[in-house]
Structures are given as C-alpha cells and as structure tokens.
A and B are shown apart, each in its own frame.
Chain A
C-alpha cells in the first residue's frame, strides 16, 4: 500500500501546483515523474524569486523617485495656489447647464504597474460623462496611453485628442505648455473645462478629482471680475497661461500619486511573491521527502522479501 500512498501524495502536489500540466504524463515511470516534479518546483521557486527581486527593486526605485516627485509637487502646488486664490477672489463658478460643450482632460501616463491609479481617472471621467445631460456635448482629451486605452473603450465618440510619451520622467512645464497649446488649438468653444487628475495626499493615499480651471466665458461671468483692472487683451493670455499651469500642476500631482501607487503595488507584489516562495518551498521539501520515503519503502520491501 505504501507506493500508492506516495503516488497519491505526489499527484496532489502536481495538480495543486502546475495546474495539472504533468498529470498527463501519468504513464511515465514513478522515478522520472518524481524528478520532473521536483525540478519543476525548483524552477518555479527560482522564477518567483527572480520576479520578487525585480518587484523589490522597482519598489526601491519608486520610493526614491517619490521623494523627488513629492518635493516637486510641493513647489508646483504653491505655483498652482495663485490660480486658486485668483478664482476665489474673482468668485468664479463652474458653468452649470446651458449651451456649449464641456472639455474633459484626463491626466494619466504611459506607465502601468501602479495599481488602479489610471483606472480611477478613466472611471471618474466615464462616470462624469454618464452624468452629463447630453454626453455627446463633451470632448475628452487624454494625457497618457493607459487612460486612453480605457476611455477609448468607454467613450470612443468623445475622444478628441490624446498625448503619449508621458510618465517615464517627472513632468516638466515645457511638456505642459506643449499640451496646453495643442488643446488651445481645438476648434470648439468650451463652456467649461474639467481637469481630472489624481491628487496626492500621502505616500499611501490619493484621490481622484478636478483641478480648478475656468474658461474665459466662466471668468467673464464671475461676480468680482469687474473689480479687476485688466490690461488690453490680457484675459485671453491669462487663460492660456493658467491652463498651462493647471495642466502642469495636475501632471505633477498625478505623477506623485502614480509613483506612490507604484511603490505600494510593487511592495504588495514583493510580499505576495515571498508568500508564494514560502508555499512552494514547503511543497518542494514535502515532495522531496515523499520521494525519499518511496525509495526507502522500496528498499525495505525488497529486503524483507528476501
């Protein structure tokens, strides 16, 4: 009965591990199968160890990048604060209802492996589009390939413009101004602009929301705008400059959130890999022991038969 026991124990490990890949070769001899299983296990342990090394170093890279991203974000937020205080002082409101198109700008990047941070942006935009009275009256501009792929699925007819090659390096003001100038070339007049981004909160948290940016129309309707003395046609230039700043700030914040998300995603991946390695090692040791037991049983049975 002993060989049967060893056999069933081995089968269990095989089907539990490699999804029955080796069960098809059940006709092979016992010893050979044993060796193959052990070898497979060893290979899997090695592969998982390598993956965990990679995720570990990605996590280290992300955490190094995070401190720089956070520093830049703090500065950019101060830069962006002037926008907020201007809108607050002018009492500018987002246009509600009425005619005209709305422009959504989704800020993501090309880089994955950062948990759900790009999906949050695209889902947020999708939900906003669903809530629109007339979804056809909204245009979507996407920064980064990740959200573009998702939003093209959600709302193919709203897609207007997309940018890629973003996210491998920290965003720069130059990038933001290139993007802003492309957006300003769009032929439509928008009643409002909604800039969707991940706002960095802490190394482990971020929230998806709007960055305040208002169109010249909205600005012209602000309660206190007439109190300002404006030189010539400074308003249009101011809007263009503000749009660039807003995009820049949103990109910087999004980058910091993405880096932090990447850090925690890679941390989790490393932990999971560690767990998997532990489990695999246990199974490996157990089946090696089982093989030894089988051989011992064979020897003892042979000896006692004499």
Chain B
C-alpha cells in the first residue's frame, strides 16, 4: 500500500517510499496512542485518520503511513474516529512518531480538548504575553514571551477558526 499523506499547509512534496514493512506488519487500521503527561486521550485505539500540526505543516495520517518522526508545533490535533466523528485537541508541542506497525504515537507536552478551552481567557493571556514580549529586556524573558505568544495565538486561531488575531 502506498503511503498516503494529506497536506493542508504549503510544504515541499517529498518522494515517499513504498513502505513494505508497514503493509506486512498489520493489515488493520491506524492505532492511535495520544497522551499528555497528565492525561491519556487515546490508548491504542483504532481510528481512521489523525491530523497533526507538524513543524513543517499540518499532516493527515492514515493507516500504513510510512514510518515517520516529526516534532509538533502548537496547534490542533484532529482525531477522526472510525465512525467519522471528529474530536479536536489543542497541543502546545510534542512529538508524533508513526511506527511501521501502523501505530501512531502522539506525545504532547500539554493537550486539551477544544471543549475545555476558555477563549476569553486565552485572549486575555495573549494580551499579557504580548505586553511581556514588548517589555522583554533580556534574551531569556524574550524567548519565554515569544513562546507564550505563539501558543496563545495558536489556541485562538485554531479554536475560532479565524487566522487574524
């Protein structure tokens, strides 16, 4: 089976190799292990598709995807269950490892379900973080503020669906 990858962000097309090991290992679907340190969302659950915010762009992962390792940027992890219902989570960063036995491990530093996000609080925090970034004097506080701004912007854009903040 050819590896199937859907990109929604601009990304150079990579030549994808035929993954013989993947096809041979398991004939069944994509098994997802999605966890943050304090909560495990999916523990080896079979799903139909997972969209992850890789650093190079959003990737859609289906069963028998070629083995792949990527870092995640702050963004949305979309899990499409076997019954096509979509659950969205916000992740602050982490890693996704696609193994050749068709298991996908998404390990996040922090992850929350979209339903649990208070958008007003996120906007208020973004304002605070932007102010901190403007006021930052040394490198460390600047980098910290930059990370905060990036994360809060991502929370707002991904939950509201708007690109302008």
The answer on A and B forming one complex is: yes
Interface of A is mostly: helix
**Residue of A229, A232, A235 with most partner-chain B CB within 10 A:** A229
Q: Check A86–B97 contact: CB distance below 8 A.
A: yes
Identify A228's interface contact among B36, B43, B56, B68, CB under 8 A: B68
Identify B69's interface contact among A79, A85, A228, A248, CB under 8 A: A228
Which stretch in B81-89, B99-107, B128-136, B147-155 binds the other chain? Answer: B99-107
The answer to the question of A234 belonging to the interface, with a C-beta cut-off of 8 Å to chain B, is yes
Q: How far is the CA of A130 from the CA of B19 in the complex (A)?
A: 45
Contacts of B16 in A (CB 8 A): 229
Identify the closest chain A residue to B22 (Cβ): A227
- How far is the CB of B110 from the nearest CB of chain A, in Å? 8
The answer to the question of B37 belonging to the interface, with a C-beta cut-off of 8 Å to chain A, is yes
Count how many chain A residues have C-beta atoms less than 8 Å from C-beta atoms of the other chain.
27
- How far is the CB of A245 from the nearest CB of chain B, in Å? 7
Q: How far is the CA of A248 from the CA of B100 in the complex (A)?
A: 26
| Residues of chain A in range 71-105 having any CB-CB distance to chain B below 8 Å | 72, 75-76, 78-79, 81-82, 85-86, 89
Contacts of B68 in A (CB 8 A): 228-230
7 closest A-B pairs by CB:
A82-B105, A78-B40, A89-B99, A173-B37, A79-B35, A228-B67, A227-B67
In the complex, 29 of the A-B residue pairs with CB atoms within 8 angstroms, ordered by the A residue number, are: A75-B38, A75-B39, A78-B43, A79-B35, A79-B36, A81-B33, A81-B105, A85-B33, A86-B97, A86-B99, A89-B99, A89-B101, A173-B109, A228-B67, A228-B68, A228-B97, A229-B17, A229-B68, A231-B54, A231-B56, A231-B69, A234-B69, A234-B70, A235-B69, A238-B69, A241-B94, A241-B107, A245-B37, A245-B107
**Residues on A facing B (Cβ under 8 Å):** 72, 75-76, 78-79, 81-82, 85-86, 89, 172-173, 176, 224, 227-232, 234-235, 237-238, 241, 245, 248
